[in-house]
Structure 1
Amino acid sequence: MTPQPLTGAQQCAVLMLLLDEGVAALLLRGLAADEVRDVGDAMLSVAEIEPAAIDGVLDIFAARHAEVAALGRDGAQLRTLMHQAFGEPRAGALLGRLPPPVTPVPFATLAWIDPATIAALIEAEHPQVGAVLLAHLPADTGAAVLAALPPELQPGLLVRLSRLGPVSAATLAGLEADLEQALLVHRAARASTARGGTAAAALLMGGVADPARLIEAVRGVDDGLADAIAEQLFVFADLIRIDARGLQAVVREVDTERLVVALKGADAPLRAHILAAMSSRAAAQVEDALMGLGPQKRDDVTAAQAGIAGIVRSLAERGELMLPGSGAGYV
């Protein structure tokens, strides 16, 4: 059976696999983002290949690169890499067929950035800069970037893009340097807003079927951290989701003074929900105390609410209360 001819990506993959890893990595930097992805996939399909096929790939490389400019400044980088990769005789033969280098493609970095990030960069720049950037994007990427921009910015950018004339190489170089700096700032800002901490862990755990199991697993690693996450799993505002019977169990464990201070910072629906679970006499006493209570420090209110939330968690751990969304436990 005649073997199937190798695709362009497979031929490139063969060359990369023949090279030293460091040399191959440097050459890959000269490829576009989609080309790198294609070559990476092709490497898996050419892991085992006949020696004759390898020779054929090298011959094709020499023939086709007679029409392609050398990579790197003045071709020096490519020539050095070729000598390192193939040795003096073969490298000299291959390089002898290469024409002079061409000017690098402006804004090549944009090929590695998702449209949403490019849109964010353009939104922060002057519209004329945005038009220049759009002009150097592939049509499909440019369309995606335009769609990701706020609607009120789109017409102005299209007008400027339509009227855009030739831009000098010096101006493009300056804009490209500014873009690189803006991209660094954008990535740093995104990293600094990454959500973490015990609150984030509790938020994720709140959506699992058995958070208690995870808490105990964390406790095996760090007891204090497990307690901190547990404190975030149920907060005072979650009392709105506990039924009347459950609230009665909670109120029995809470002294009136703490409850009054906690309710001082509760919204009207939560306050009504808790009072409705109490006897009419106890609810009236709490309401009277609330009316006579003066302004409270926010920290005192927060502490009182956190204390009640802790009592709720203790009741749940003892199986005396079913937390909202829990499939186990009872009152």
Structure 2
Amino acid sequence: MPAPLQGPQKAAVLMLALGEAAAARMFGRMHEDEIRDVSIAMAQLGTVPAEVVEQVCEEFGRALGGPGNLVGSYESTERLLLKTLPAERVASIMEEIRGPAGRTMWDKLGNVNEVVLANYLKNEYPQTVAVVLTKVKADHAARVLSQLPEGFAMEVVMRMLRMENVQKEALEGVERTLKAEFMSNLARSTRRDAHEMMAEIFNSLDRQSEARIMAALEERNRESAERIRSLMFTFEDLKRLDAQGLQVLLRSVEKDKLALALKGAPEEMREMFFRNMTERAAKLLKDDIAALGPVRLKDVDEAQAAIVAAAKDLAAQGQIQLSEGKDDQLVE
């Protein structure tokens, strides 16, 4: 009796059954790794009995037309894996998927903050760092390189200039080391506290919903409510930016969003932005704000949330510094 078909084999059977034109369109939407896996399965299929083809197509149809929604999460995935795999193997898999996004190791590295990556790489051999920087995108490699100590960075550059094709075995060795040492530690260190996640969710709520839910939470668990509030970063918290940071932020936000955000901001917040602009730019912004007329609070909240998100992105890139701790005199 033939062994049951695996995922890539089922995909290969389905694509062959659909015909070359449909299969070509599907390949065009796949990642390189997926194309390779399905292609290998397709090349090794041999003769597939008609009843097997029919079963695969029926299974696909049932899955596609099945009612209801499915919700996947880290927790549900881990529970499912523990039913079929050893605990150590599950822990390894979960550490990998909790790490940065990306199908390959190099994709994942491209989503690691350059400061974090540089702090790890500065303790590696220059040759290893050279290999890593040639495998990630040029702009990310440049940011990582700028974070390395000057002498060490020059050693890396010289090896990159002299580098020829890296042997497959050496490349696989670097990948294994990165996966075993760096990615697993990064996944463990980046598991976020539940209060941090809730603070981000609260930051995205409109003011009325935030006030209502926070008030209810205070009644149930005042300690958690206070911790979430301390972790939240609001539009008013931008007052903690220094002049240089605020000017960087101003260059990265859309002017119409800024006008809408300041329309609903306290006067002191408006003045802070005006002080960090040229006289002409400040006058134009004031005119834009005045021209808006009455605006919905929801639109103001969305504009302010967009600017806060931009500030967080800039902070993650190291372009601005968001101070720690709350200002006692923040405008509520």
Tell me if both proteins adopt one fold, taking TM over 0.5 as the criterion.
Answer: no
Structure ranking higher on relative contact order (CA contacts 8 Å, 6+ apart): 2
Q: Give the TM-score taking structure 2 as reference length.
A: 0.34
Q: Which has the larger radius of gyration?
A: 1
